[in-house]
Amino acid sequence: MPQPLHYLRETASQTAGPYVHIGLAPGAAGFDIYREELGWDIAGPNAEGQRIIVEGVVIDGTGAPVKDVLLEAWQADAEGRYAHPDDPRHAEVAEDFRGWGRVITDFETGLWSFQTVKPGQVPARRPLGPAVKVRPQSAGERTDALGRGHQGPRRQAPHINLWIVARGINLGLNTRMYFADEAEANAADAVLNLVEQVHRRETLIARPAGERDGLPVWRFDIRLQGDGETVFFDI
């Protein structure tokens, strides 16, 4: 027998069930209990950036909208900064920008929507393998401490991270929502490019859908199964 590894094992997930609202959105369950429910304000009034509305439905394998789903959104601010201490730029994030939101679907229609600011570009991972030595081509390019040139920091295309739970979903589903008007950034995004079947990348891209209350609306439908199944991530 080799030496034992004394790691703890993860607590297993269980479905959020049909009554998830009681715990996470009691107002929707039909009662008022907390001073303030969490997750209604993703970007407070002081957060800079373009205000947008994001909406959609979650569709099951039969083509019907899922009416008891809860989604959580996690995003960077308009400058691509997360309100979290592991983001080196978090101190610059506006105080009332949390970047996290929780929404539930309408019990009749299955529609969900939230208001936020459009996120900026977040730094990407450095690619695996040895650093590529490229001489700076112009003054605008930078050199690192070893004198290696590079094209400036690699960044991800603007995106909102989404987490979806509901009755019948055993382990919360992670996906990302990108924006159709960011074609150039999307084409260069490392995560989108990881999706081998090019047509499936489309499932991660929100489309413009007019205006409401003077704000641009982005439509993002999520298909759990079947034609056009959304790409989900193991993060």
Partner 1 sequence: MTPAEYHACDRRRHPPALTPNYKTSVSRSPRFAALSLQNSLSEITGPVFGHNDIDPIDNDLIRNYAKEGEPIGERIIVHGRVLDENARPVPQTLVEIWQANAGGRYRHRKDTYLAPIDPNFGGCGRTLTDADGHYFFRTVKPGAYPWRNWVNDWRPAHIHVSVFGRAFAQRLITQMYFEGDPLIPRCPIVQTIPDPAAIDQLIAPLDMNAGVPLDCLAYRFDIVLRGRRSTMFENRLEGN
Q: Which residues bind Fe ion (CB under 5 A)?
A: 17
Contacts of 161 (CB under 8 A, 6+ apart): 73, 74, 75, 174, 175, 176
Tell which positions 170-189 bind partner 1, by CB under 8 A. 170-174, 176
Which does residue 72 touch among partner 1, Fe ion, none (CB within 5 to 8 A, set by kind)? Answer: partner 1
Told to check if 40 binds partner 1 by CB under 8 A, we report no
Told to check if 206 binds partner 1 by CB under 8 A, we report no
Measured between alpha carbons, how far is 208 from 190 in angstroms, rounded to an integer?
23
Q: Specify the stretch interacting with partner 1 by CB under 8 A; choose among 43-51, 110-118, 155-163, 179-187.
A: 155-163
Nearer to Fe ion, 21 or 159 (CB): 21
Nearer to Fe ion, 132 or 171 (CB): 171
* Dihedral sign computed on CA atoms, order 170, 157, 72, 110: negative
Residues that bind partner 1 (rule: CB under 8 A) add up to a total of 88
Told to check if 126 binds partner 1 by CB under 8 A, we report yes
Told to check if 94 binds partner 1 by CB under 8 A, we report no
Size of the chain in residues: 235
Which does residue 50 touch among partner 1, Fe ion, none (CB within 5 to 8 A, set by kind)? Answer: none
Told to check if 226 binds partner 1 by CB under 8 A, we report yes
Told to check if 33 binds partner 1 by CB under 8 A, we report yes
Ordered DSSP codes for 135-191: ---STTSEE-TTS-EESS--BPPPEEEEEEE-TT-SSPEEEEEEETT-HHHHHH-HH
Are the beta carbons of 149 and 137 closer than 8 angstroms?
A: yes
